[in-house]
Amino acid sequence: MRITLKVWRQANAATRGRMVDYRLDDVSEDMSFLEMLDVLNEQLIGQGEEPVAFDHDCREGICGMCGLMIDGVAHGPEVTTVCQLHMRSFKDGDTITVEPWRADPFPVIKDLVVDRSAFDRIIQAGGFISANTGAAPDAHATPVPKADADAAFEAAACISCGACVAACPNGSSMLFTAAKVTHLGKLPQGQPERLGRVVSMVAQQDAEGFGGCTNIGECASVCPKGIPLDTINQLNFDLRTALRHGA
């Protein structure tokens, strides 16, 4: 099928960017979106032009690197990662707009590549366990209520792709931070630092310049791993508890 791409091109963070149109005449519906971008780059290189820079790694929907806005939607029309989005989701003759994440804490490095190290700093602020828990215990040696275990595993599925931030009108990273807080705070080994963790991570989130959460829900609607909106409730509960106790 034939498609027209409107792609954001920006040489570096210091230069102005612009949308550039490209046409591809032989796109297979079985291609992934990233494979289609590979074909575009092969075409550009063959013409002596600069290829489009975009993030990718595993191409299996696991790593969260392939963050793109496609027709104004984080990761595109399907609730999945861009590498798992296939061209059969589009029609012959479509014009597709491709942009990087739009959020101040995610500055553009080049073209469709943004710097998401703000997420790394939020995790460094408290998304870890430093208490010495000794050797790995036998299975079921420490009882964990099933509801807590399920919530922890659900939150731990977060791949830090940043779609929640890109989709949020406020540019909030609350769903991401809540997932990192919840998956540790629901398990026994995460309890010693539970209150300090949430205070530190929320403070770092604010310091990075992410917007405030107003529970619009766009974050959860585009999350490729299905992190539920009520994960934010757990973060707020832990934060209120911490502030009451002066953590």
Query: Using one digit for the tens of pLDDT, what is the confidence trace for 195-206?
Result: 999 999 999 999
- In this prediction, residue 134 has a pLDDT band, given cuts at 50, 70 and 90, of confident
CATH code at position 80: 3.10.20.30
Regarding whether 197 and 128 lie in a shared domain, the answer is yes
For the chain, how long is the longest CA-to-CA vector? 64
Instruction: Please give the pLDDT value at position 39.
Output: 97
Of the residues 80, 110, 140, the one at which a domain ends: 110
Instruction: Please give the pLDDT value at position 100.
Output: 98
Of the residues 78, 94, 110, the one at which a domain ends: 110
pLDDT at 135 over 90: no
Of the residues 64, 93, 110, the one at which a domain ends: 110
Regarding whether 77 and 129 lie in a shared domain, the answer is no
Regarding whether 126 and 79 lie in a shared domain, the answer is no
Span 109-118, average pLDDT: 97
- In this prediction, residue 136 has a pLDDT band, given cuts at 50, 70 and 90, of confident
pTM of the model: 0.93
Q: What is the domain range of residue 17?
A: 3-110
Regarding whether 239 and 149 lie in a shared domain, the answer is yes
Mean of pLDDT over the chain: 95
Regarding whether 183 and 154 lie in a shared domain, the answer is yes
Instruction: Please give the pLDDT value at position 143.
Output: 87
**Strand locations in the chain (E):** 3-9, 18-24, 69-70, 73-74, 95-99, 108-110, 113-114
pLDDT digits (tens, 9 = 90+) for 87-107: 999 999 999 999 999 999 999
CATH code at position 128: 1.10.1060.10
Name the domain count of the chain: 2
pLDDT digits (tens, 9 = 90+) for 45-55: 999 999 999 99
Regarding whether 142 and 48 lie in a shared domain, the answer is no
Burial class (CB in 10 A: 0-12, 13-18, 19+), 145: exposed
Query: How far is CA 111 from its chain centroid?
Result: 18
Regarding whether 100 and 71 lie in a shared domain, the answer is yes
Q: Which one-letter DSSP state was computed for residue 109?
A: E
Regarding whether 143 and 219 lie in a shared domain, the answer is yes
Regarding whether 234 and 126 lie in a shared domain, the answer is yes
pLDDT digits (tens, 9 = 90+) for 171-213: 999 999 999 999 999 998 899 999 999 999 999 999 999 999 9
Regarding whether 100 and 14 lie in a shared domain, the answer is yes
Regarding whether 172 and 210 lie in a shared domain, the answer is yes
pLDDT at 247 over 70: no
Regarding whether 61 and 133 lie in a shared domain, the answer is no
